[in-house]
Structure 1
Amino acid sequence: MSTFYVLLSVVLMLQVCRACDGNNEEQQLAAARQQSDEYFANAYGFNPSPWGSAYYQPSARVSGYANPYEGRTPLNRQPNYNPFKKYFTNTNADEENNQVEGRFALGGLGANLINTGLFNNRFTPANTWRPFSSLTNRIPISLNPDYNSPLANFDACTSPSGDAGICAPGSVCSLFGGRPSGSCILGKVCCINAITTCGGTVTLNNTYWQSPSTAVSAPSTCALTVRMDTKLVEQLARPICQIRLDFISFTTNQPTAGTCTDTFMVGGSTSTVPVICGDNSGQHMYLDVPSSATTPTDVQLMFNFAAGAATRSWNIKIAMLPCGATYLAPVDCLQYFTSATGKVKSFNWQDVSSTAIRQLNNQKYNICFRTELVSGSKAAQTCLTVCTPTSGGDPFSLTRTEALAAQVSAVSATDNAGVAICLYDFLLIAGGTDPATGSAAERYCGGRLNPAPAGAVAATGGPTTDVTVCTAIRPFRMTYQTDNTEGAVLIGNGILIAADADGVGTTDSPGNVGFCLDFQEK
């Protein structure tokens, strides 16, 4: 019996020891797991938990939080519009809103993989040196803020050669037939797009339309379409409200008696755009169009070349201006100048010594000037003087008549009874005044920029010198208008007031050339 009790005591002691050992084993396992987690966190930068970044789903946002992306990244970007949304069947709003979070989650997964299993497990666990950790900063999916829509923002850029272009990925530039020249941020290139054919279509901002490399045959037509539609991938982020045309170079045949035989015309714009021809390098136009967000619009640019062997060449930069931009021209301003000083010329004016008529018929458009800051204050007036030609050109010559006067009232001012001056061809400067004499006029024509009335110098029938003309009426603008002929205007067929032929009785060169004026805001 004593032997039985001894054996029972031994068994009970063994069970107690095993229980103690089990508790110690669980404690040791827990301690080891904690040490392991701390080790991986310190050595490799991540916690090997199944609930890591790749599986993390963000909790629902607080109701009414207006800007969930604020402070999310250093860029503080708003979510990009997704042009490819319609190609996917899943329209879950929460999932779409979480795209940015999912993108950064994937970036975190890439960091974890690079910092651990892909490379660093080749080193001993005691070694905390991570030679490939910098590679995580080079994963485009983590750093490209336009990942959702890489085509959404075609920002303007300037190449090292001075050409205007758009910032785009290199592959996209090639897709649109562009030429990379210079670089932009985020690995994009400055893409220069040029079209050298007739009959093409432009959808990209800052596109150059250049004359074909082969000589243009005549008679012929060469046209280009500028398409504005926010459904286009390259325009979906920016509705277009205006087009600016910059004539880098522009040479066609000269007019005949003021009427263009070669013509450049614009169709599809809500602006009144005159037909032009001749030499117009350095000129520009603003074209108003309905917002492409509501009405897709096609604007046509067209050259019509008459028979003849004249040189025809052009290089026109086409800029699409987004709605709401601060640099849009005022409505109905064909030309818009945004500096305190500069030069303004009528179409086809050139600094050349010639008796040919360069003034174009059928011109009617507004020339506008933005009010600039002068000495820290808004300009109070704009002053105009004739420019100084260096090659024998005439800076001001509009519809020359015997009485070379510009009158306040064109209907009552005559050089002969019943014959009007500055009624059909004129440059209108509202509130135009000679600050030296106080003489004022609104319509200017003849051979001098001078508001003095004809009676002031009766011996010659009009002013003999050019003066400075200033106006304080804002917004600053001028209106240029010519009729459809250089000949006399006769009474009849709705014409109530006659006018002499444009070149009658002049003692200077007989050809009207238009105007070239220097402007200065004061």
Structure 2
Amino acid sequence: MSTFCILFSVLLMLQVSRACDGNNEEDQLGSARQQSDDYYANAYGFSPESWNALYYQSSGVPITEYPGQYEGRTTLSSGQPISVNPFAKYFANSNTGEEVNPAEGRFAFGNLGTNLINTGIFNNRFTPANTFRPFQNFGNRVPLIVNPNFNNPISGFDDCTSPSGDSGICVPGKVCSLFGGRPSGSCVLGKVCCINAITTCGGTVTLNNTFWQSPTTSVSVPSTCALTVRMNSKLAEQLKKPICQIRLDFVSFTTAQPTAGTCTDTFTVGGAKSVVPTICGDNTGQHMYINVPSSGITPTDVQLMFNFPTGTATRAWNIKIAMLPCGASYLAPTGCLQYHTTATGRVRSFNWQDVAGARQLNNQNYDICFRTELVAAQRATQMCLSVCAVTNAGDPFSITTPAAVLVGNANNAAISTVAADVTAAGANSNVGTTARNTAGDTLVATCLYDFLLIAGARDVNGVEADRYCGNQLNPAVGTPQLPGATTSVVVCTPLTPFRMTYRTDGTEAAISTINAPTVPAFAGADTTNTGFCLDYQER
């Protein structure tokens, strides 16, 4: 009997050794892929009810402001070569160059069974020539992720990019079908790049890189269309890392234009730590970073909501929802609603377009941040901004009508317009916070209610100003009647981290009553304000 046991043990060890051979690993993995996919779906109990099976159709509109570095956390998009043997890193004598952590017990006798189960050796991984499989069904009786201290090769929902450029997640084919996704391209270990899209109101998102598209039928009014983004580290699709930020990319975004700066159609975000302004109009190519509590500590539901009260305007959107893990290097800094991570690019206020007419939105108050990039192998020491070129009658910089059109009587009791003060005023820039009229008896607002704050910005002559408004980007002070200049210039700031603050109040009407401290000065009515479009360059 003892001889039989010894022979049986030797035979079993030989079979396990052959199963771990790197040369035939790919064949072994392929033979068991179908069974692994089935178990993967069944083990977690995915529920596809909230997902729509319609395929995502690319809009063909590139997002030029952000090249997608946050999608670089997968092995597919990294610069390192991918090992042919996907299980080699789990064994101590691997030649992949990866560090073996003894604490993870990747080949310690105490965790030998765990490692063999996780890598699927007992799940039909013996060579096809040998039909003796005493542990064929043993792996089906244990969860896929037995040891949470290392990455199981069939457990992640990593980012991927399809051949057509769409963002998705790497999952087994059957899991993609369960979520109503569209397979497009392939990932390692036989997974597919799954493109996920929701085209309904009232749905729920739990997967990274999901697209929320407007319904295929026309949006009725009045109506509300909302989507819930659910973050919980206990969800299988979020098990790998807790989520701390959501990035929204507006692949396309068209709703009704504002009325006197106030949105009638509204897009709002609820349930987040960030204060997100209400926006509307045309915002294709824009993006937002939204801070949320760590999903590993506090499960959170964030609501994205459109509200359409009246009207027949076109309403259409396609919003990419990316869930960013805590501690990732590509998270936006605290307090930044927008974050640009290239040395050059373009930044626009929401609803700015190269067309004629008023476009500025009321009640905007947010920070735009820029990562300090390498320029000529050195970290940038300044960031320069200039107005972008327009070809279709748009205005690249128009924030608040210059204050020189506003004067009052000696008692500050009324406001009137003085023709001498109006000349050329609409094309001038404003800087600072306040200015007085010619008599010196009336305080009038310049960049007090609507402005773009660029700390430390100065022109080529060293003239410096922090607040900019009016119709030109220029720090020149000018006179009380015409406070500023008639042309825009390049302004640069040496202050790092590079950041701008955009602020508008809740009205475009004239302010004729002072109520300090909230309304400290008179202001004229704003006309045809567009917001801003600036090109930036780090140097």
Q: Shorter-chain-normalised TM-score: which range?
A: 0.7 to 0.9
* Aligned counterpart in structure 1 of residue 463 of structure 2, from 439, 446, 449: 439
| Residue of structure 2 in register with 1:475 after alignment | 497
Gaps of 5+ in 1: 1-32, 38-46, 59-67, 80-92, 119-140, 504-509
Matches within 5 A, 1:155-304: 155-304=158-307
Other structure's SS at 2:430 match: coil
Other structure's SS at 1:209 match: strand
Other structure's SS at 1:49 match: helix
| Residue of structure 2 in register with 1:126 after alignment | none
TM-score (norm 2): 0.72
Other structure's SS at 2:306 match: strand
Instruction: Quote the Cα distance in structure 2 between the aligned partners of 1:105 and 1:334.
Output: 44
Instruction: Quote the Cα distance in structure 2 between the aligned partners of 1:110 and 1:156.
Output: 28
Question: Quick one: structure 1 residues 78 and 224, their matched pair in 2 at CA, closer, same or farther if it must change by over 3 Å?
Answer: farther
| Residue of structure 2 in register with 1:50 after alignment | 8
| Residue of structure 1 in register with 2:455 after alignment | 430
| Residue of structure 2 in register with 1:486 after alignment | 508
TM-score (norm 1): 0.74
Offset at residue 501 of structure 1 (A): 2.5
| Residue of structure 1 in register with 2:523 after alignment | 500
Offset at residue 116 of structure 1 (A): 4.7
Instruction: Quote the Cα distance in structure 2 between the aligned partners of 1:493 and 1:459.
Output: 24
Question: Quick one: structure 1 residues 151 and 419, their matched pair in 2 at CA, closer, same or farther if it must change by over 3 Å?
Answer: farther
| Residue of structure 2 in register with 1:368 after alignment | 369
Q: Does the CA contact (< 8 Å) of 1:54 and 1:105 recur in 2?
A: no
Instruction: Quote the Cα distance in structure 2 between the aligned partners of 1:98 and 1:413.
Output: 81
Q: Does the CA contact (< 8 Å) of 2:116 and 2:122 recur in 1?
A: no
Q: Does residue 98 of structure 1 match 2:113?
A: yes
Residues 466-495 of structure 1: CA deviation (Å, up to 9, x unaligned): 000100000000000000000112334444
Instruction: Quote the Cα distance in structure 2 between the aligned partners of 1:95 and 1:193.
Output: 41
Q: Partner letter of residue 471 of structure 1?
A: T
Question: Quick one: structure 1 residues 298 and 116, their matched pair in 2 at CA, closer, same or farther if it must change by over 3 Å?
Answer: closer
Counting aligned pairs with the same residue, the percent is 59
Matches within 5 A, 1:74-153: 98-102=113-117, 106=121, 111=126, 114-116=128-130, 152-153=155-156
Gaps of 5+ in 2: 17-88, 102-107, 133-138, 147-151, 405-427
* Aligned counterpart in structure 1 of residue 92 of structure 2, from 42, 64, 71: 71
Q: Does the CA contact (< 8 Å) of 1:222 and 1:303 recur in 2?
A: yes
Q: Does the CA contact (< 8 Å) of 1:429 and 1:478 recur in 2?
A: yes
Instruction: Quote the Cα distance in structure 2 between the aligned partners of 1:306 and 1:213.
Output: 19
Matches within 5 A, 1:4-15: none
More divergent stretch after superposition (394-403 vs 297-306): 394-403
Q: Partner letter of residue 476 of structure 2?
A: A
RMSD over equivalenced CA pairs, Å: 3.1
Question: Quick one: structure 1 residues 265 and 176, their matched pair in 2 at CA, closer, same or farther if it must change by over 3 Å?
Answer: same
Other structure's SS at 2:175 match: helix
Offset at residue 332 of structure 1 (A): 0.5
Offset at residue 412 of structure 1 (A): 5.2
Question: Quick one: structure 1 residues 109 and 412, their matched pair in 2 at CA, closer, same or farther if it must change by over 3 Å?
Answer: closer
| Residue of structure 2 in register with 1:309 after alignment | 312
Residues 26-68 of structure 1: CA deviation (Å, up to 9, x unaligned): xxxxxxx9xxx9xxxxxxxxx9921136489x9xxxxxxxxx9
| Residue of structure 2 in register with 1:519 after alignment | 536
Larger Rg: 1
Q: Partner letter of residue 511 of structure 1?
A: T
| Residue of structure 2 in register with 1:420 after alignment | 445
Q: Partner letter of residue 484 of structure 1?
A: G
